Structure 1
């Protein structure tokens, strides 16, 4: 029997002042392990069924949540059964992410569910008229799908009802009034528990980092960047915390998708979301230079022009990985902390970042940091942030209290003030901080902006960004110069040598530069030797990756996902239970083509499954044909059928393991077999899926 939960002081206060708007986060963790449904969806159900502290009621509510998920949430491999259920029952309610697209040649809209495997679900205009985001990235909803019995119609299913999974009403005044009963530190702990973290396990500085991660969700047009090691949860707040945020994972960032589609006369993602976040920012492909120019305009003032003048509130967040050690970078004369950014992100883009969060200081994801205490329902807190982004402006309040030093220039001041506004909205939604608290926020905001300026100063061959000693005047009138901890004693960062400018000047004056170093003061603690950056002719060593392919993404193929990890592999094991339908076998053939191009592989073992509908004779015939074809490339294919398997992963004998949530079958059906993307998978739109690439010690023999 489960022991009775004992509330602490913060639990009691939270339950008293936010009755019906709190949930125990350990309940979320227990359910979360068994499903990939976003946090705000699960808490939507927990709030409905488990809004109590009575053990019996909670247990009953948990059973109701699990029953609801079992009945209404469909996993990707159950899509065919879900369609059959609707056909037999006439209609059924699902919890799923719903997308709507307009098909120009048919002059009508079609809906699709991520896990229902139909791209042609009829939908009434009122649904996508009242929920714009259905057309731009999709939304999670409770949706009733009904069966269409009219044979003459070109569709089998239609949307009978749709309810977005988020609060229908939000009262900001009562939210602010209830918050006033908490001290600043108590409220900071409430916010951290609400996002699933246990504040008692975190240092005060790390708490501030987590608060800063929330800034793009609460402050409009806030340009945020976090770079650091893998596995610190950088993208979580943008993918699962808020229904008002969307995460772009890899692929191409086009001006039509992000900003404005001239052909459709429709605004892009910035018009529909509070936050547009870019995961794995180093992998963003920007082919059109106009995209970067429009991004610069938008990041500068929240507006841009593409034939029409567009104004939007969406913040932009960029998260990515740094592979080198931070100590090595800050003590290097060659590298800087913007190293992972795409080459198209020039100094003008970097100068627009208000806050660079030091991701290398964040703890690795671990259950040790998860809370089992009460917190606000995620959706409720997300609504509070959404309300403040749209309706609250703290800029004047900040300007009256803030006095900055002479080194702070225009963009520095704007970035610092916007970070301060975000902290006030999160931690003081209806009150004001004390002078001591305000000074703490100012110091943090100045540090986050200084980190941006230091790296730009390192890149620029002249002194345009040389005024890096940003300062402010505290409550006692004392000027405080703020430093970044990682570069406090790094001469290579604080006083970068202007070697490029000197070389250019000497060349103009006809002076031949000598091979010996110029007589400038060299940093005393440079780590030697530093690895040289990979040249264009030297491919980078493959690294572990954990990312999400978003619904509708392009740019992902078996070559891009598996190709970097194949060199040196001789044997591959593919476990995928769904290599049975013609299109799934075709996907496996394309995968084998990628393997053959690696040249070293001599064996492929496929472990798959079958069901009662599988055409075993047809399956065997197609796989035998593939076997014969592979033998011409000196590759042996072995096939093993196992009807009880469920895992999806590809194991290479060089130690790499690639797990894809949907296996090899993560592509949408093309619009037609004569449309772009029909044969080139890098141009075909994808379904949403997670990809995890990690390494085990290479097998011997």
Structure 2
């Protein structure tokens, strides 16, 4: 039985998942990594969880947003408060101060922000300043800031302890893959992402779902997915990993997304592994032509430009849109469903692949993870670490036979997608021979070509004069290199 093999191979890195506890933790609005840690902490060897202990722990250490007003009252009256929270830290170059905010309590707009003392920064700079955000125990006090004439009150972070329940041994994970067949491993990945592989009707549905995980393992992988409502695309990009950011609604500005010239700080693209745009048809952009130009440069070269700065970043750009059943056809114009920021041909050409979300079933109870599976936080951290491994690029290069003079963007897209598939499905591979040729073709090369070919078809439809011409309308005929 696959569950038993997962428990035997991964031991302490598995948790028991089922619909009941999924609903319980969903109601608490906790991220997956906090959820799985609590499950492990308060479960017995059979996976039975003590829900009362979980609730007591949460009440004591994980306050709700409404509790912060009480914390502020206690602090201004001389008390110190201490609790577990998600924290973001940045250095203000104008004042020279290191600032923090607690986004789950409303951040700076709600007064959940302040200064980090120099000794805390010095002790934890490798954690606080290198990651876009962290979880940890924070200790806060209130005091006067006498660097200004008014002597304004300010909250200070005087102690910090990172929430780090375990370390990830990437080599162990790679070696563990050898214990599973490709069919078993596909199911391991799906259950790790909080879904039940038994809820899918076919292998094709499973493989289509796994395409959503490709930006988790490969840098600057840009994808577009159009799907009906209710297929779970938002959950994958929002809840599985703290390394990604999903923008849902509202107005997107250049400062928040790319670079803030006033604060001289990079935007979301510089802080996360991927940035997703959810329900793109209803999203608005402040100065859209300016954002479009900046995004085209970023998606091509991986650099964000400020008035006086140039910052290298490696986040993927993910565009998600809802589409009705009458538009489920890659041979017709689907870009009418997408914001003009992304649907103009020069922008669309910079997307590496397309996910036909209508091939993924709507979320139903049978798709909720049910059984022993990899801890989602552990899994997400593994995927993050795989982004830096260059071995897989070399393997993919050896596997591909590329025709003369291929289109550069097509070739880049197919190679990058192939590399992501290899990282996801064959993390144990160290050379070409570690992946059977037929499996590489079926699970890596053909899906990559298919995903890029949809982008090419749409380009031919929306800009036929430029793309629907000999030599441009088809993707390169890349084959497996048997030599």
TM range (shorter): 0.7 to 0.9
Matches within 5 A, 1:116-155: 117-125=110-118, 130=124, 139-148=133-142, 154-155=152-153
Shift of 1:24: 1.1
Q: Matched residue of 2:207: which SS?
A: helix
Matches within 5 A, 1:140-219: 140-148=134-142, 154-155=152-153, 157-166=155-164, 169-202=167-200, 203-219=202-218
Of 376, 379, 389 in structure 2, the residue corresponding to residue 378 of structure 1 is 376
Match of 1:433 in 2: 435
Q: 1:286–1:340: structure 2 CA closer, same or farther, 3 Å change rule?
A: farther
Shift of 1:303: 2.7
Match of 2:355 in 1: 357
Shift of 1:145: 3.3
Q: 1:209–1:197: structure 2 CA closer, same or farther, 3 Å change rule?
A: same
| Alpha-carbon distance in 1 for matches of 2:130, 2:252 | 14
| Alpha-carbon distance in 1 for matches of 2:369, 2:113 | 42
Aligned partners of 1:303 and 1:309 also within 8 Å: yes
Matches within 5 A, 1:452-601: 452-462=455-465, 464-466=467-469, 467-470=472-475, 471-473=477-479
Aligned partners of 2:194 and 2:376 also within 8 Å: no
Match of 2:316 in 1: 315
Shift of 1:438: 0.7
Shift of 1:270: 2.4
| Alpha-carbon distance in 2 for matches of 1:167, 1:391 | 24
List per-residue Cα deviations over 1:296-332 (Å, max 9, x = no partner): 12211323544444322221111122246224x6576
* 1:115 lines up with 2:114 in the alignment: no
Aligned partners of 1:415 and 1:449 also within 8 Å: yes
List per-residue Cα deviations over 1:139-195 (Å, max 9, x = no partner): 352333334477997437432333444556322111111221111111111111111
List per-residue Cα deviations over 1:252-277 (Å, max 9, x = no partner): 43333333333333333222211122
| Alpha-carbon distance in 2 for matches of 1:137, 1:285 | 27
Match of 1:45 in 2: 38
Matches within 5 A, 1:345-424: 345=342, 346-403=344-401, 409-424=407-422
| Alpha-carbon distance in 1 for matches of 2:341, 2:428 | 41
Match of 1:278 in 2: 277
Q: 1:429–1:228: structure 2 CA closer, same or farther, 3 Å change rule?
A: same
* 1:59 lines up with 2:49 in the alignment: yes
Aligned partners of 2:142 and 2:156 also within 8 Å: yes
List per-residue Cα deviations over 1:354-411 (Å, max 9, x = no partner): 1100012222122221121111111111111111112334222112212356896321
Q: 1:111–1:74: structure 2 CA closer, same or farther, 3 Å change rule?
A: same
* 1:230 lines up with 2:223 in the alignment: no
Q: Matched residue of 2:27: which SS?
A: coil
Match of 1:297 in 2: 297
Q: Matched residue of 1:33: which SS?
A: helix
Q: Which deviates further from its counterpart, 257-266 or 183-192? A: 257-266
Aligned partners of 2:224 and 2:355 also within 8 Å: yes
* 1:96 lines up with 2:80 in the alignment: no
Q: 1:231–1:75: structure 2 CA closer, same or farther, 3 Å change rule?
A: same
| Alpha-carbon distance in 2 for matches of 1:233, 1:86 | 41
| Alpha-carbon distance in 2 for matches of 1:435, 1:119 | 55
Q: 1:144–1:461: structure 2 CA closer, same or farther, 3 Å change rule?
A: closer
Shift of 1:245: 1.1
Aligned partners of 1:277 and 1:317 also within 8 Å: yes
Aligned partners of 2:88 and 2:101 also within 8 Å: yes
Q: TM-score, normalised by structure 1?
A: 0.60
Q: Give unmatched runs, 5+ long, in structure 1.
A: 1-8, 478-701
Q: TM-score, normalised by structure 2?
A: 0.84
Q: Give unmatched runs, 5+ long, in structure 2.
A: none
Q: Which has the larger radius of gyration?
A: 1
Shift of 1:288: 5.2
| Alpha-carbon distance in 2 for matches of 1:168, 1:14 | 18
Which structure's residues are more often helix, by fraction? 2
Q: Matched residue of 1:374: which SS?
A: strand
Q: Matched residue of 2:311: which SS?
A: strand
Match of 1:21 in 2: 13
Aligned partners of 1:23 and 1:374 also within 8 Å: yes
Aligned partners of 1:122 and 1:158 also within 8 Å: yes
